[in-house]
Structure 1
Amino acid sequence: MAYGVSLVSTRYLKRFFKPKSIAVFGASEKENSMGGVVLHNLIEGGYEGKLIAVNKRGYDKVHGITCYSHLSKLPEMPDLAIVCSPPEGVADLVRRLGISGVKAAMILTGGLSRSRNRVGKTVRDEIMELAKPYGIRILGPDCMGMLVSSNHMNASFSHLNIRKGKVSYVGQSGLLGTAMIDWANGQEIGFSHFLTLGEGVDIDLPSIIDYYAQDPYTQSILIQLDHLVGSSRNLLSSLRSASRNKLVLVLKSNMIFDEDKVHQPALGIKDEDLVYDAALRRAGVVRVKTVDQLYNALETLSRMKPMRGERLALVCNGMGPNALATDQLLRKGGELSQLCDETVTALKEVLPDHWNLKNPIDMHADATPERFAQVTKLLTKDPNVDAVLVIHAPTRMAPGAETAKQVIEVARNTPRNILTCWMGRSTAIESRNYINAAGLPTFITPEEAVDAFMHMVEFRRNQEVMRQTPAPFIDPNVQNHIQAKNLVANALAEGRDYLTHSEATDLLDQYDIPVSHSEYADDVEGVVELAKKMGGTVAVKVMHTENVYPFNYDNRQSPRWKDLALDLFSPEEVRQAATKLSFRVQERFPEGPKGFCVQQMKRGYQSLQINMGITRDPVFGPLLLFGKGGYSVDVLADRQVMLPPLNLSLARRLISTSHMFDVLKESSVQLERDLEQLSDLLIKLSQMVVELPNLKGLEINPLLVNRRGVLAVDVAVSLGEPSVLAISPYPEYLSEHISLRKSGRKAIVRAIRGEDEPSHLAFYNTLSAESIRLRYFYSRGIPTHQELANWTQIDYDREMAFIVTAPKQNEPGWETLGVVRAVTDADNVRAEFSVVIRDDLQGEGLGAVLMQKVIDYCKERGTLMLMGSTLTSNKSMQGLAQKLGFKNHYNMEEDVVEMEMMLNEPTEDWQRSRLKG
């Protein structure tokens, strides 16, 4: 029993990108008329649909297009309304468009966020309220418009049209968009779609990314982002989905001029840049930080072939440029190719005797165009070379244009990527024009070329991390975690926004994190008695109203290291140190100390100090933190972060980005053991974030790493309002136990997770050819690792897959018996499902169990309709659907049976409109 699905979340955007008719409001032939420019661009671009001009002045025609004075006089309503009217009339026009049944409007009028109506509300907000009841979707205001090369549609005020290409662009800045079009035309680079969003009243960045991700004309996606509008969770969800199938680059600048949009960095983080880097990397995309990098990235997006690997060969007619490129490559973490012996032997035949016999290759200043071509060709045949960067410095022996032509010919006959760098200007421009026309990436400097190559490498690495099969899932200690929840709940009930030191250490203990034993005293004499009891050297920490909170050690007014006394041996040393600590606290806090913590000293054994913990960002929510430990301010210099939830692969990557990773590699006695234990701790912290939403901050500092393993010496925990993760965590609460109908075999119905990839492949391999045809509507082969990762590592915000899993009957481990999927549109109006059961388990009732599970899930999350389509020959699916309450009907155009079930009644007019559309 099986059938397939298709995503419906962005269908409404076809009215914007593929309209059959367009009306331009505010169009005139006056100089500097935005509406006139847009209409002229539509005509000049060759738009093949119907065009209508609207202007209250009642012109007969505008640029040869019939003009009407009012919306009510139009012979028919357009698919798309483009609004270029003065600000004061825009809100009322949107209302009238909605009443008239227009479903899509693009507002190019600017300044609506600053313009206010009679009651003081911004025109932007007024538009949002007026549009929603009528189901009219709004793009803008203050956008530059959109350009779609496949539809010959230039619905923008851009001074140039776009060339046809495979890159889709979406940005927030209109003027940066027009500059990008100008540059791309000069470089002979094209786009499939080009759009700026402006203020984003309704249609937001995630919606556009989702549309581009499904568009067959789009190979790569380029995003320009000033600041985050709306939900960070929605943005990351769309980016993660898009980057699984297409290359995605994001230009995010650091400068914000609107003080209302300034992103305050999270506690314990030095700046927001670190957080955006972590968020975008977690989404599997590549970030660029300057316009130059964006331009260079566009070169690679448009012209590079699929990446074979990361090993780069460098070749130039001089060592100076080679040195610049090599230095940049190694600084960026790139890899130089190690030439195989056969290649070195072959190169000896075409290079001077004194060549360097290795990569990078110096062809020397007497290199001719023929030598450039011969060397490049040999490198493309080396199995250790994944890409070649050809650098040309102008000489009389190697004329730029002739050399370019010969390298182009080599590039046309190899599947490997060849990047080029023709240095200079006066004689290099003609050469670069030849290379541009040939569709090869070319750059002015060696560093730019390497940066562009590393953008592709970074994307490849991000994808590998995203698709790594996580380690087998180990069920947590549920009982201990319940105690941890109670511990937090009790503190909140007492009105505290922190845990005491003893509570914080208890919290770590509940999650099986090794923590140093602590004893507590109320006064100095109590400290002395505890020190005598412990014996040996001790450490004493005085506690007060500030150091119960994490990340306060960088406070210069109250540095945390003033609260500690270390390496105390004799009772006299202990009494003197504790007394001094007490006086210091009384000087700063009138209420005096809140007690003392006494520990045996744990220094020694070649210990390394590490800082790890949890903090909370105002935009992206909870973050996990890792870096150098200790109480000095300079720990901020090694602060690396990652968004939870984490698996083993992500935890290892977080550690590897820190400077402490290099220290560990040099100093650790058992590196793999230490990395495994540190990764395990990060995963446990990630688990805390998911299970304890009131956990605002947690800092383990220092965490000691030595021959004995890892040990948390000090910890502080703060509490706050419940948080929302930017990346949806695993929904453990949806799991339930069942028994199969005939055999009585025990099984579990639960959400799928990445760790299920091996068993999911085994499940797929049990399916008959007929079951596969019914599920996918065609015959197909064994799925690749990439496909399996996409099926198992899902985003629980936008889709759900429930599996029935049971212990294997004749060997250890678990096996998958069946799966149901539901993909929900962006507005939670419709969800589409698919279901497939193992062939040998038909009749066990699993189809009904999984279908009821997905029905209940979608109904609970407020989805209005559950729907899908199946082949007419799939009578068992049709029968099950009817039995469960679906309404089935035949779709003659698609030759499928469609099944629909209303789960919740719409409460808004826009919902009713979407259900009809």
Structure 2
Amino acid sequence: MSTKYLKRFFKPRSIAVFGASEKAESMGGIVIQNLIDSNFPGTLMAVNPEGYDAVYGVSCYRGITELPEMPDLAIICAPPEAVADIVRKLGANLVKAALILTGGLSLAGSRSAEALAEEVKEAARPYGIRIMGPDCMGMLVPGSNMNASYSHINITKGKVAYIGQSGLLGTAMIDWAAGQGIGFSHFLTLGEGGDVDLPSVIDYVAQDPYTHSILLQIDHVTGSSRNFISALRAASRNKLVLVLKSDDVTVAKPAPAPGIPDENTVYNAALRRAGVVRVTTSDELFHALETLSRMKPLRGERIALLCNGSGPNALATDRLIRQGGQLAPLSEATVEALREIMPNSNWNGLNPVDLNADATPERFAQAAAILIKDKAVDAVLSIHAPTRLAPSVETADALVAVARKSPRNFLTCWMGRATAIDARNHCNNANIATFITPEEAVDAFLHMVDYRKNQEVMRQTPATYIEQNTPNHLSSRQIVTQALDDKRNYLTHREAFDLLDQYDIPVQPTRYAADIDSVVQCADDIGEAVAIKALHQENAQPFNYDEKSGQRWHDLALDIFSRDEVRHAATRLAYRVSERFGDDASMGFCIQQMKRGFQSMQVNVGFTRDRTFGPLLVFGAGGYTVDVLADRKLMLPPINMALAREMVKGSRIYRILMEHSYQLERDVDQLSEVIVKLSEMIVDLPHLESLEINPLLLNKQGILAVDAAVSISPEPSRLAISPYPGDLAENITLKRSGRPAVIRPIRGEDEPNHLAFYNQLSPESIRMRYFYSRGVPTHQELASWTQIDYDREMAFIVSAPRLDGKGPETLGVVRAVTDPDNIRSEFSVVIRDDLQGEGLGVILMSKVIAYCKARGTLMIEGSTLPSNKGMQGLAQKLGFKNSFNMEEEVVEMKMLLNEPTEDWQITRLQS
């Protein structure tokens, strides 16, 4: 949904409230009162068929046709059975936005409610009217003086946008924030969000310059998970985003996908990949809001603790260390300065700092001022327990004076209640984050640390892209297609190993036998100790663990030497399969030479498919004798080497490798390469449902897949994050020099070359592109330009081998950003100055025009300075219509790519 269209909801010039009366239980009446109390500056109207003259002084009308003007926004509080008809009449009268506060349209398990909700959608569809709700509390926008909700109190203006799904939790948050003096830029709950959904609203508030942070409360993701992740990733690049994911116990949930312990681990992985921070309780949510609204961006992760007693310091330190936080090391200068004010000459000189119970406000302020100047200290937490010598309010005022002079973060904790409340209020008034317990303060700080880490992961420059040996994708697809044609939901063991081999994942040489005599012959051919596995449909399924995980051992016979042992073991395995699954269940045997020695580590790696977020990569400890679900790291594909390394380093496997590996970086790289190859497999073969390599052996000789299982589905998967569109790459030849090059979508690995490309642009080219002179882009900017969301924008670069033979270089780039409704795409193009005349402008523009047209975009447009005659001429040559915009003082270039097919598209094009 276009964010521009949401202005009708958030900045309406007129509002009509349907179902409003002065009855005590009237929701519409409450909304009217809230709008009046918030000093809504636009036109207010009430609609009620009872024929009231006015509702709380607002003129009331019997029906839509009697309104003196059609409103920008209609707020519907009428009974459920009347809602669809109201929506239909609003649409017929060209009203384009409706907020439904009526409850009961989306109650789970109610057939009549489902029918009513569907009737509302059908009523809106022909007219293009957009619906927010039902079952939402409404919205509050202090910047627009609008309280269009049933909240019992209003909110003050602030910098945090709150978007939730639960109306009651929203009203509780408003009440708490009012008591803390915290304000919001936007506050709304969406209910089920059937039309105006969560991603659309995230996009809107992310573009609001007055919103610095976004707080989301979700029960579950409705609609497209790709849209949700896409919106979160875009927002988190510029705003601090925090998510409360609660567990909706009112909805019956199916069992988690194979290989996934529970839904929470999936949401943790998805939200981390989106660059946001998750909290899980309402307490954490409130504390996180305190942090969001008051703290400055972190410059590091090291914190200094300051208290007038060892007990509170110990509580804070214990919480910090257990959660993986870092105590800041104090410099010698800091220690010496502190020693001069410490009452105890035997002070140990360490962080945390204990000022003793007799610490006066002056001593607190002196110590805080010293700590906050230390370059190794990124934040200071002052913990205060009230005493006669350390009164809370006086100490708070002294610390506030110190905090105001520092650009670094300063947190406070005032333990107690009777005398501590005033101290906390003083800190609140000074916009300093304050908490009741040391643990709360530490948790709040660590939320900021998590956010910083997630942002670093999202923006880090991936390793240089290396073209792997191109796998035989045709053969891989044939393997999957044949299994689907056979009506199977799995690959055989031989097919699974063939698939891994196609992607250059080393597999253990394996022989297959249909009967016991053939097993004996295979063992003879190997000539050494062997391992035998009985194959059947159950162990052909990945992550297929029963409650007694040791049962998997019963399909195996290990360290078998003699012919008699081989025959006996094979017979025992065959009998067990027949006993458990029937005489026709056997799929034969696989026989391998035993692998031992080299201090091998057993790893479990693969992927599975979640019902909400689609494919998920899985990594952790392997083998059959351990709890295979105890160590599970999940990540959304597609990923590159940088993300794969992050996945490995976040696991228990990495901690073991740090202790025992002879070549730590080599081992991490090998494991990461396997994960990247599995990510490529997910993209290439969407009918793969899940895959498990267990165990993947890692030792001095490298890696080796010893066993694998693959399941397939006739339904192709859809990734939550758009994959790299490699199929759009094509080879070209430059016009003047005849130099071979490739035009392809940009990728994260292009960041170093993109910086070199930018540095070769002349100041005039930079001004023509950006409309102003600017310096060298930062890493954050470069990451935003190269690590793009291919669902939202496209950037094509022309890349060619350097003339000195030292790798590729970027010659030019064209970028197109499309609105969410796919109506307009805005382009920009820039070419290296020394390559003018090579035809790159035509090549790049033709590529982006064809791309936008193929994806159904209606119009492509751009703007340039009047002095940029070259761009204007190129645009005219390609078929654009140029016109001068006097207000903006730019030349606008527009080209219609596809004809609109619906009325709302025509309206949007004309706006």
- TM-score bracket, normalised by the shorter chain, equals over 0.9
- Correspondence for 2:781 among 776, 783, 787: 787
2:323 pairs with 1:332? yes
C-alpha change, 1:851 and 1:264, in structure 2 (3 Å) is: farther
Number of paired residues? 908
Residue number in structure 1 paired with 2:103: 110
CA distance in 2, matches of 1:49, 1:121: 35
CA distance in 1, matches of 2:746, 2:474: 24
- Residue 323 of structure 2 aligns with an amino acid whose one-letter code is K
2:425 pairs with 1:433? yes
Matched-pair contact (CA < 8 Å) for 1:27–1:55? yes
Structure having greater relative contact order (Cα 8 Å, sep ≥ 6): 1
1:145, CA displacement in angstroms? 0.9
CA distance in 2, matches of 1:413, 1:116: 57
CA distance in 1, matches of 2:425, 2:152: 22
CA distance in 2, matches of 1:306, 1:819: 32
- Residue 284 of structure 1 aligns with an amino acid whose one-letter code is G
Matched-pair contact (CA < 8 Å) for 2:106–2:135? no
CA distance in 2, matches of 1:907, 1:570: 75
Three-state SS of the structure 1 residue aligned to 2:451 is helix
Matched-pair contact (CA < 8 Å) for 2:816–2:826? yes
Three-state SS of the structure 1 residue aligned to 2:586 is coil
CA distance in 1, matches of 2:249, 2:305: 39
Matched-pair contact (CA < 8 Å) for 1:356–1:362? no
Residue number in structure 2 paired with 1:16: 9
Residue number in structure 2 paired with 1:5: none
Equivalent residues in 2 for 1:870-889 (5 A)? Answer: 870-889=864-883
Three-state SS of the structure 2 residue aligned to 1:596 is strand
C-alpha change, 1:97 and 1:794, in structure 2 (3 Å) is: same
Equivalent residues in 2 for 1:230-249 (5 A)? Answer: 230-249=223-242
Three-state SS of the structure 1 residue aligned to 2:500 is helix
Matched-pair contact (CA < 8 Å) for 1:798–1:823? yes
Matched-pair contact (CA < 8 Å) for 1:553–1:632? no
- Correspondence for 1:316 among 302, 307, 318: 307
CA distance in 2, matches of 1:202, 1:566: 58
Per-residue CA distance 1:399-430 (angstroms, 9 max, x = gap): 11111111111000101100111111111111
Residue number in structure 1 paired with 2:377: 385
Per-residue CA distance 1:803-829 (angstroms, 9 max, x = gap): 111111124111111111111111212
1:194, CA displacement in angstroms? 0.5
1:257, CA displacement in angstroms? 0.8
- Residue 405 of structure 1 aligns with an amino acid whose one-letter code is D
2:701 pairs with 1:708? yes
C-alpha change, 1:637 and 1:117, in structure 2 (3 Å) is: closer
C-alpha change, 1:566 and 1:557, in structure 2 (3 Å) is: closer
Residue number in structure 2 paired with 1:507: 499
- Residue 484 of structure 2 aligns with an amino acid whose one-letter code is L
| Structure 1 stretches lacking a partner, 5+ long | 1-7
1:218, CA displacement in angstroms? 0.3
Residue number in structure 2 paired with 1:900: 894
Residue number in structure 2 paired with 1:584: 576
Residue number in structure 2 paired with 1:400: 392
Residue number in structure 1 paired with 2:560: 568
Residue number in structure 2 paired with 1:161: 154
- Residue 774 of structure 2 aligns with an amino acid whose one-letter code is R
Residue number in structure 2 paired with 1:4: none
Residue number in structure 2 paired with 1:684: 677
C-alpha change, 1:774 and 1:684, in structure 2 (3 Å) is: same
CA distance in 2, matches of 1:504, 1:697: 11
1:130, CA displacement in angstroms? 1.8
Three-state SS of the structure 1 residue aligned to 2:463 is coil
Equivalent residues in 2 for 1:515-534 (5 A)? Answer: 515-534=507-526
Per-residue CA distance 1:404-459 (angstroms, 9 max, x = gap): 11111100010110011111111111111111111111111111111100110000
Three-state SS of the structure 2 residue aligned to 1:540 is strand
- Residue 90 of structure 1 aligns with an amino acid whose one-letter code is V
Residue number in structure 1 paired with 2:835: 841
Three-state SS of the structure 2 residue aligned to 1:634 is coil
CA distance in 2, matches of 1:574, 1:110: 69
1:118, CA displacement in angstroms? 12
CA distance in 2, matches of 1:121, 1:210: 28
- Residue 105 of structure 2 aligns with an amino acid whose one-letter code is L
Matched-pair contact (CA < 8 Å) for 1:133–1:909? no
Residue number in structure 1 paired with 2:356: 364
2:206 pairs with 1:213? yes
Per-residue CA distance 1:770-801 (angstroms, 9 max, x = gap): 22122112211111000000000000011100
2:50 pairs with 1:57? yes
Identity, % of aligned pairs? Answer: 66
1:86, CA displacement in angstroms? 1.4
1:115, CA displacement in angstroms? 11
C-alpha change, 1:479 and 1:314, in structure 2 (3 Å) is: closer
- Residue 216 of structure 1 aligns with an amino acid whose one-letter code is P
Matched-pair contact (CA < 8 Å) for 2:537–2:585? no
Bigger mean CA deviation after superposition, 631-640 or 316-325: 631-640
- Correspondence for 1:450 among 442, 446, 453: 442
2:184 pairs with 1:181? no
Bigger mean CA deviation after superposition, 402-411 or 130-139: 130-139
Three-state SS of the structure 2 residue aligned to 1:476 is coil
2:665 pairs with 1:672? yes
Equivalent residues in 2 for 1:219-298 (5 A)? Answer: 219-259=212-252, 262=253, 264-298=255-289
- Residue 602 of structure 2 aligns with an amino acid whose one-letter code is Q
- Correspondence for 2:28 among 29, 32, 35: 35
- Residue 248 of structure 1 aligns with an amino acid whose one-letter code is V
Residue number in structure 2 paired with 1:81: 74
Per-residue CA distance 1:257-311 (angstroms, 9 max, x = gap): 122xx36411111111110000000000000000000000001100001211111
- Residue 21 of structure 2 aligns with an amino acid whose one-letter code is S
1:656, CA displacement in angstroms? 2.2
Per-residue CA distance 1:188-214 (angstroms, 9 max, x = gap): 111011011112121100001001111
Matched-pair contact (CA < 8 Å) for 1:145–1:196? yes
Matched-pair contact (CA < 8 Å) for 1:499–1:717? yes
Bigger mean CA deviation after superposition, 100-109 or 229-238: 100-109
Bigger mean CA deviation after superposition, 221-230 or 836-845: 836-845
Matched-pair contact (CA < 8 Å) for 1:553–1:631? no
Matched-pair contact (CA < 8 Å) for 1:135–1:913? no
Three-state SS of the structure 2 residue aligned to 1:53 is strand
Residue number in structure 2 paired with 1:134: 127
Three-state SS of the structure 1 residue aligned to 2:813 is strand
Matched-pair contact (CA < 8 Å) for 1:133–1:908? no
Equivalent residues in 2 for 1:686-765 (5 A)? Answer: 686-720=679-713, 721-765=715-759
CA distance in 2, matches of 1:791, 1:118: 48
Matched-pair contact (CA < 8 Å) for 2:549–2:625? no
Per-residue CA distance 1:96-127 (angstroms, 9 max, x = gap): 11111111111111111259999996222122
Matched-pair contact (CA < 8 Å) for 1:355–1:363? no
CA distance in 2, matches of 1:92, 1:768: 61
Three-state SS of the structure 2 residue aligned to 1:39 is helix
Q: Give me the TM-score of the superposition, normalised by structure 2.
A: 0.97
Matched-pair contact (CA < 8 Å) for 1:537–1:568? yes
Matched-pair contact (CA < 8 Å) for 2:550–2:625? no
- Correspondence for 2:291 among 300, 303, 311: 300
Matched-pair contact (CA < 8 Å) for 1:279–1:643? yes
Three-state SS of the structure 1 residue aligned to 2:153 is coil
Q: Give me the TM-score of the superposition, normalised by structure 1.
A: 0.97
Three-state SS of the structure 1 residue aligned to 2:867 is coil
1:669, CA displacement in angstroms? 2.5
Matched-pair contact (CA < 8 Å) for 2:104–2:113? no
Residue number in structure 2 paired with 1:497: 489
| Structure 2 stretches lacking a partner, 5+ long | none
Matched-pair contact (CA < 8 Å) for 1:124–1:201? no
1:632, CA displacement in angstroms? 4.0
Residue number in structure 2 paired with 1:766: 760
1:479, CA displacement in angstroms? 4.7
CA distance in 2, matches of 1:842, 1:63: 69
1:899, CA displacement in angstroms? 2.1
- Residue 359 of structure 1 aligns with an amino acid whose one-letter code is N
Matched-pair contact (CA < 8 Å) for 1:695–1:718? yes
2:470 pairs with 1:481? no
1:88, CA displacement in angstroms? 1.4
Residue number in structure 2 paired with 1:3: none
Three-state SS of the structure 2 residue aligned to 1:638 is coil
Three-state SS of the structure 1 residue aligned to 2:536 is coil
Residue number in structure 2 paired with 1:536: 528
